[in-house]
Each structure stands twice: as structure tokens, then as C-alpha cells.
Structure 1
Amino acid sequence: MAEEVAARRRRQPKPTGQPRRIPQQKRGRERFEKILSVALALIEKNGSDALKMSEIVEQAELSFGALYQYFPDKSSIIRTLAERFNEQGRACVEAELAGVTDAAALRLALCNIADQYYTFFRHEPAMRDIWVATQADRLLQQIDAEDMEFHAQALLSVLVRLEPERSKGELLAIARLTMQLLAAAVRYAISLDDVEGRSAIALYQRMLPADITRLG
């Protein structure tokens, strides 16, 4: 048995953080989604650090070969889940920033984004765990960096519209730091109990300047 396990480990591909392939056929897609569903439930129960491919195989009722056909390692599973969660966050940011026409509306939009992100993470413990995991795993840090740059670019488009005479480089620096601080505030808030967490978000919102476009 020990030799079989060792042999299986040797056959496993090196960690890439990427799914091997996304199936197009219905049967393969159903199997792909089942793997993600089982992994999400295990992360919610035990945390991402404790996620094991052997448990996914057992609970999804698959062979190791079937699992590795789609996901070569657990980082690729966590990455896929993180990217799906990020899609929801991006939709939130885009929706809030879409109607911004002045500095006051921008400040309100950022407050709303902080509120929605906090509520989302508070009610999705698995996502909260995955968000932390993307900070600790070098293979997953790229996901967070790409997501933060998306948010920064979305905010930049608003800043350019509100302050067309300003240097784009200067506005980009403001956009990047603003979104980083927002994410940091939410990360801190979800580390607290709910009452303290909501107070922390409220404090962050009060600290936002009345006119972010005038920074720099």
C-alpha cells in the first residue's frame, strides 16, 4: 500500500495552480462541477490548508485519474474557486462605479463596495478562507494581484473621467492605493467578530476623504 501511494505521488504533476482543462461536454462538466462543490464543502468544514485530494476523490466518488484529469493539484482547485469568487466581486465593483458622476458619488460607491465585500465574506466562510489562502500561497498570489489591478483600473477609469486634466500616472497611483486600502480594511474587519467587524468597516468609511480625486 505504501509503495502504491508513493508511486502515485511520483506520477502527480508539479503544482501549477492552473486547472488542467475545463471540459466542454456535459458529463465532463458535471464531474468538474462536482469536484469543485465537494472541495468547497471541505474547505468550509476544515479550511483550505487541510484540503486533501484523497478526500475529494472519496467524497466525489471518483478515481485519482479522473480528478487529475481536470485538476493536477489542490492549488488549481483553490485557484478556480478563487477566480469564481473574484468574478462576483468584480461585478459588484463595476456596478457601483458605473453610475459615479462626481466626488460625492465616488465616495459613496467605495463605501458600498466595502459594505458588500464585508457582508459577502462574512456569510461565505469558505471564500474567506480561500481569500486568505491566496495571500499565503505563492502560486495563488498572482490571482490576488490580477484582481486588485482589475479594481484599480476600474477606479482609474472613473478618476480620469472626473479629473481629465490630471496625469494618468498620478491617478493610477491613487486608484491602486485606494483599492489596496479598501481590501486591507475588509481583511482586517472579517478577522474580528461581526459587531467589531462592522464597526471597523464604518470607521474605514468615515476615514475616506470627501474627494479622493484631490489626493496626490
Structure 2
Amino acid sequence: MSDVAALRRAPAQERSRLRVEKMLEAAMAIIAEKGSDALRMSDVAQMAGVSIGSLYQFFPDKAAIIRTLAERYNEQGRRCIAEELAGVQDAKSLVAAFGRLIDIYYAAFLAEPVRRDVWSGMQADQSLRAFELAESRANAEILAQAMLKVRPKGDRKEIAAAALLIMSLGESAMRLAVSVPRAEGARIIAAYKRLAVSELGGRG
């Protein structure tokens, strides 16, 4: 677990929940316009129409805001991964499902600059990297379970390591692909797909 908490305290009342949503919406607007590096607590408070004290009641610092946003995106991602891989029965269906996941993720990062920048903010903040690694491990476990359906006699530790590597390389490929011109990014994603397929579908 990361030492960085998300919310300092969970909003108990509807009024507080709405206030927190306003804060997060303000943070997303700032990130969309300026990037996560330019996110300032004072700017979030001003845009959300709350006092800086109210902001600090819920978010101790910028990292907590970024982590809260990341948790929301990660929850969506885990759900998507689980749904796509749920029907895997053989190597062919595993390769097809994982290929769809790559396309879904790439499209999401192209369409949602905030998601992309929150992800970059997680990587840039050392205190948040442990949280991000834990998320990668959780996603890799979902993939590993699907791989075990295809290779029921496979070594579980080897499969777990391969799944984590596939997920980690996928994250790196996404970051690289969205940082270069679109045509080049598409080629990078296609190259990653070929690498992933060779591991996911290459052995029975």
C-alpha cells in the first residue's frame, strides 16, 4: 500500500459528498487545461468555490487528489478487464479478449486527456508509485486467472510473472503511444499486441 491516502476522511453527508465532487471536478478541469504538474490546491479551492480549509478537510495534499481520481479510473479499468476476460476458454478467446482490452484502453487515453495526465502524475510522484504497482498487480492477477484457464497445468508463478510483465509493458506502451503522433502511436500499440499475443496464445 502507498503511504499516501486518498480522501483524508470520507464525506458522511450528501452535502459533503457534493462538495467533494465539486473539488474533484475542479481538479479535473485544471488538469485538462494545464496538466497535473500545474495542479495547485489553492486553484482547486477557488474553482470549486470552497475555502482552502474545506479542501484540506478532505484532501491533505495534491497527491491525495490525484490518487482519488486514479482510484476511480482504476476501478473502471479493473471492471473492464474482468468483464472482457470473463468468457475466456481457450488461447484464441484469450488473445481476442486481450486485443479488445488494448484497443479500449488506447481509445480511452486518446479520448480522455485527464485520465492520461492523472496516470502520468501517478508515475511522477514517488509516493504514489507503490499504489500504482499494487493496481498493476491486481490487474495482472485477473489476467493470470484467464491464462490459467488456457494453461491449467502451467506453473502458477511463471504465469503470474508473465501476466504482470504483460500488464506493465502495456502501461508503458500506452504512455509512449499517446506521447507521439497518432500514426506512430498506432504502430506502437500494434507492435505491443504482437508481443502480447506471442505470450498469451503461443503456448498451449
TM-score (norm 1): 0.87
Note the alpha carbon deviations across 1:39-75, whole angstroms, 9 max, x for none. Answer: 0000110111111111111111111111111011111
How has the CA–CA distance of structure 1 residues 171 and 64 changed in structure 2, closer, same or farther, with 3 Å as cutoff?
Answer: same
Asked if the contact 2:90–2:149 (Cα under 8 Å) also holds between the matched residues in 1, the reply is: no
Other-structure match for 2:138:
150
1:84, distance to aligned residue in structure 2 (A) = 0.5
1:16 and 1:144 mapped to 2: Cα distance?
11
Other-structure match for 1:4:
none
Asked if the contact 1:93–1:113 (Cα under 8 Å) also holds between the matched residues in 2, the reply is: yes
Note the alpha carbon deviations across 1:81-139, whole angstroms, 9 max, x for none. Answer: 01101111111111111111111111111211111111101111111111111111012
User: Structure 2: which 5+ residue stretches go unaligned?
Assistant: none
Higher mean C-alpha deviation, range 32-41 or range 103-112: 103-112
2:126 and 2:184 mapped to 1: Cα distance?
30
Asked if the contact 2:95–2:201 (Cα under 8 Å) also holds between the matched residues in 1, the reply is: no
Other-structure match for 2:10:
22
1:140, distance to aligned residue in structure 2 (A) = 1.2
2:6 is matched by which residue type in structure 1? Q
Other-structure match for 2:54:
66
Higher mean C-alpha deviation, range 42-51 or range 205-214: 205-214
Pick one of 71, 82, 87 that aligns with 2:75: 87
Q: Which has the larger radius of gyration?
A: 1
Pick one of 166, 169, 173 that aligns with 1:178: 166
Other-structure match for 1:98:
86
How has the CA–CA distance of structure 1 residues 207 and 159 changed in structure 2, closer, same or farther, with 3 Å as cutoff?
Answer: closer
1:16 and 1:146 mapped to 2: Cα distance?
13
1:183 is matched by which residue type in structure 2? E
Asked if the contact 1:163–1:213 (Cα under 8 Å) also holds between the matched residues in 2, the reply is: no
Q: How big is the alpha-carbon RMSD for the aligned residues of Structure 1 and Structure 2?
A: 1.7
Other-structure match for 1:6:
none
Other-structure match for 2:129:
141
Q: Does 1:128 align with 2:116?
A: yes
Asked if the contact 1:107–1:211 (Cα under 8 Å) also holds between the matched residues in 2, the reply is: no
- SS of match in other structure, 2:134: helix
TM-score (norm 2): 0.92
1:136 and 1:34 mapped to 2: Cα distance?
25
Pick one of 97, 100, 117 that aligns with 1:112: 100
Count residues with an aligned counterpart.
201
Other-structure match for 2:41:
53
Other-structure match for 2:186:
198
1:135 and 1:40 mapped to 2: Cα distance?
17
Other-structure match for 1:32:
20
Identity percentage of aligned residues: 42
Q: Does 1:41 align with 2:29?
A: yes
- SS of match in other structure, 1:82: helix
Note the alpha carbon deviations across 1:154-193, whole angstroms, 9 max, x for none. Answer: 0111122222212211111111111112222212111112
